[in-house]
Amino acid sequence: MTSNNSHFSVVCFGETLWDFLPEGKLPGGAPVNVAYHLKQLGKNPAVVTRIGDDELGKELKEVYKSKNIDTRFFQVDEEHSTGKVFATIKEDNEVEYEIVQPVAWDFIECNKEVEQLVAAADYFVFGSLASRNEKSRNSLLHCLEFAKIKVLDINLRPPHFTKEIVTQLMEHADILKLNLSELHLISGWFADLNSDEEMVNLLQKKFNLKTIIVTKGGDGAMLFMNGAFFYHPGYIVKVADTIGSGDSFLAAILSKLMDRTSPAEALDFASALGAFVASRTGACPGYEISDVIALMESKEAGDSINF
């Protein structure tokens, strides 16, 4: 790989797939969702993933090209099909997922080109879901050897995780993002604590994490950074669905950290973007930054979000 790829400030590693919803299919996968929102926010991410040599894979690649996502690191698998998830929206706007396996993104490779791509980036974003298969997990662990700032986006989807694998990934992370139920579950593996702050402190010390981001649904979000806690009550919107809102939240935090914005400002903007995405259908709705700022200024009434 030549040095002209050094302009990718963020590399997102992991699953890409189709979310099959009652009203039709939408492109999905947390790492690509994060990349999409980083792109919308003016950053230039690369995505390392794997699709099948099939019509769904070709269509997925074209969709992301149309959204200005660089797809040159979308590997093509001739044996395994493109990822599929069957999503059911429940009455409380929560989403249940049936994640098909094995599929192409279970077999991502970390070759020399990917090594150099990761080494040149400032941030490396990865999740726990792509570690369900040994092949992608080993590729991920290899990539982590070259990464600078490592961002773990916890995405616990039973039965696609184990305590051992999640713990292993956390040992590599610098920045950890998870939701409140994941915080309670993971901290409970190590101690029986009462407050969210105690749980965050436990994980921070145990895994030497620099930053921990906790989304709390309708109760907003919490950020631990530079030895201090920051809180946001969240923005209230009328929810379309919550798919991808947590991914947009993480992208917003990262974009603001890259801009050296204060932790409080980063949390405010991320809370607004997460709420905005929840007010639209699908993980990657079209929008401008001005749309997010308008929400921050209006604070419209509606339903609380949960992402």
Tens-digit pLDDT profile for residues 168-212? 999 999 999 999 999 999 999 999 999 999 999 999 999 999 999
Please give the pLDDT value at position 299: 65
Please give the pLDDT value at position 209: 98
Give a yes or no: residue 305 inside a domain.
no
pLDDT tens digits, 229-279: 999 999 988 888 788 899 999 999 999 999 999 999 999 999 999 999 999
Give a yes or no: residue 207 inside a domain.
yes
Please give the pLDDT value at position 219: 87
At which residue do the structure tokens 């990934």 appear? 169
Give a yes or no: residue 74 inside a domain.
yes
Q: Which of 15-19, 39-43, 242-246, 261-265 has the lowest mean pLDDT?
A: 242-246
**Cβ-Cβ contacts under 8 Å for 281 (sequence gap 6 or more):** 23, 26, 240, 241
Looking at per-residue confidence, does 219 or 229 come out higher? 229
Q: Which of 1-15, 53-67, 149-163 has the lowest mean pLDDT?
A: 1-15
Give a yes or no: residue 304 inside a domain.
no
For residues 11 and 238, give the distance between their C-alpha atoms in angstroms, rounded to a whole number. 32
In percent, the amount of the chain with pLDDT more than 70 equals 95
Indicate the average pLDDT of the chain: 92
Give a yes or no: residue 231 inside a domain.
yes
Give a yes or no: residue 303 inside a domain.
no
Give a yes or no: residue 95 inside a domain.
yes
Q: Considering its fold, how many domains does the chain have in total?
A: 1
Q: How large is the average pLDDT for residues 60-89?
A: 94
Q: In which domain, by residue range, is 183 found?
A: 3-298
For residue 220, the domain's CATH number is 3.40.1190.20
Please give the pLDDT value at position 87: 79
Q: How large is the average pLDDT for residues 33-50?
A: 97
Give a yes or no: residue 62 inside a domain.
yes
